[in-house]
Amino acid sequence: MAEQSAELSPLLKQATPVLAARGEGVYIYDEDDRRYLDFTAGIGVTSTGHCHPRVVEAAQRQVATLIHGQYTTVMHRPLLALTERLGGVLPRGVDRLFFVNSGSEAVEAALRLARQATGRQNAIVFQGSFHGRTMAAASLTTSGVKIRAGIGPLMPGVVVSPFPYAYRLGMSEDAAVEYALRELDYQFATVTSPQDTAAVFIEPVLGEGGYVPVPPAFLRGLRERADRHGFLLVADEVQTGFGRTGRFWGHDHAGITPDIVITAKGLASGFPLSAIAAPSALMEKAWPGSQGGTYGGNAVSCAAALATLDVIEEEGLVDNARVMGERLLAGLRGVAAEHSGIGDVRGLGLMVGNEFTTADGRPDTDTAARAHRIAADKGLLLLTCGPHGNVVRMIPPLIVTADQVDSAVAVWSEAVKEATA
């Protein structure tokens, strides 16, 4: 295990034994200069790779020019330029923006906006979703009880409806969608009347809850119900945005337009920055002064985000995520076919999960943890997810090459072999 400080709170848990000294591209180096293939990307943040020269240069230049402007006190160019630039990649008409610092804050902000704009109170979320750790965001989160346990009472007005998780439900994808939409309609008939429902929050790929892509028909079913009942469809693109799924936005796979888009993580290559986007008619209904914060839209983060968007575009990272994602998925399916114990391998773009199950179909947390640890020992950094921690997920930087994907699959194959021996 990496060195620990006696003063560091024991409540922080470290997923890998690495003490990182530096990062470069898809690699992290420890203090002995041992190289690790980083298929965690800082939980899906360093999409342009560690310390991309363009991002480093933009941030260094901005640090020496203006670090903190404070956007409710003075405006600054990096924020204006970023707002305009994001307007060009957001769905048409969903392009009025403001900035905060983290995914959780952005989720809270979206909930405030949805409640103020609709005058309604309730929010619907799907079982297994992760929207953050702050109190309202935790109230919307059911990816695992560790986020909720011991901190209640949580915010009222949250309705949890089943997610179309075909593998766990033991259904075809079509049947799972039909079931989840039927249950959602039942919520409207029994728990939250449509006129009390402000918004539905959904991650286009269930992230912390197990890396399960949302079937496009489900997202379309939500869009149709949002239009019919007058509530807002909120896409939490914190983990899925900026090319991660092989399209610019996760919701692009379903061909729908959300009413609110929440972004963070991949937006600024590791600098804290998140954004909430919605149509102007919706933003106009929010109460001025009710949103924002001291550090929101930090000038260095905005400069890094502008460089990030340049890199995504110029290096074709959205396409690379799609192509490398398919390669990774095929390789991992090959590994699963050779070893019993991995019940499902699934993903969208470069968000891929390997679900470990016992012979009788129960979640196999122990084998997943073993494979994860052995992979780290062999130089491949991964994360686990899912309510039982039995899904090993791979989320490399979007700059990953075919050779790096193949090396990761080779190491993974060894790790699974040893973990299931």
Q: Which is nearer to ligand PMP, 202 or 303 (CB)?
A: 202
Look-up of token digits 């048409």: 92
If one asks whether residue 43 binds ligand PMP (CB under 6 A), the answer comes out as: yes
If one asks whether residue 231 binds ligand PMP (CB under 6 A), the answer comes out as: no
Which residue in 40, 234, 261, 39 sits closest to 126, CA to CA?
Answer: 234
Least distance (Å) between residue 327 CB and ligand PMP: 24
Q: Which is nearer to ligand PMP, 207 or 215 (CB)?
A: 207
Task: Print burial letters for 217-253: b (CB count within 10 Å at least 16), e (below 16).
Answer: bbbebbbebbeeeebbbbbbbbbbbbbbbbbbbbbbb
- When binding is defined by CB under 6 A, the residue of 180, 181, 264, 324 that contacts ligand PMP is 264
If one asks whether residue 208 binds ligand PMP (CB under 6 A), the answer comes out as: yes
Residues within window 126-145 making contact with ligand PMP, judged by CB under 6 A: 130-132
Least distance (Å) between residue 10 CB and ligand PMP: 20
In DSSP terms, which residues pair with 20 in a beta bridge? 30
Least distance (Å) between residue 64 CB and ligand PMP: 27
Stretch in the footprint of ligand PMP (CB under 6 A) among 173-181, 236-244, 313-321, 383-391: 236-244
Stretch in the footprint of ligand PMP (CB under 6 A) among 97-105, 160-168, 174-182, 316-324: 97-105
Stretch in the footprint of ligand PMP (CB under 6 A) among 96-104, 169-177, 339-347, 375-383: 96-104
CB 166 within 8 A of CB 89: no
CA–CA separation, 118 and 198 (whole Å): 6
Least distance (Å) between residue 40 CB and ligand PMP: 12
User: Would you tell me how many other CB atoms lie within 10 Å of the CB of residue 151?
Assistant: 11
Nearest-CB residue for ligand PMP: 103
- Identify the burial level of 16 via C-beta atoms within 10 angstroms of its C-beta, where 0-12 means exposed, 13-18 middle and 19 or more buried: buried
Q: Compute how many residues bind ligand PMP; rule: CB under 6 A.
A: 15
CB 123 within 8 A of CB 114: yes
- When binding is defined by CB under 6 A, the residue of 46, 47, 239, 301 that contacts ligand PMP is 239
Tokens of residue 1, six digits? 């295990």
If one asks whether residue 203 binds ligand PMP (CB under 6 A), the answer comes out as: yes
One-letter identity of residue 170: G
Residue partners of 50: CB distance under 8 A and separation at least 6: 22, 23, 24, 25, 26, 27, 28, 38, 270, 397
In DSSP terms, which residues pair with 205 in a beta bridge? 213
Q: Which is nearer to ligand PMP, 239 or 257 (CB)?
A: 239
Residues within window 320-359 making contact with ligand PMP, judged by CB under 6 A: none
If one asks whether residue 387 binds ligand PMP (CB under 6 A), the answer comes out as: no
If one asks whether residue 108 binds ligand PMP (CB under 6 A), the answer comes out as: no
Q: Which is nearer to ligand PMP, 43 or 171 (CB)?
A: 43
Q: Between the CA of residue 71 and those of 68, 76, 115, what are the distances in Å?
A: 9, 7, 24
Residues that bind ligand PMP (CB under 6 A): 43, 102-104, 107, 130-132, 203, 207-208, 236, 238-239, 264
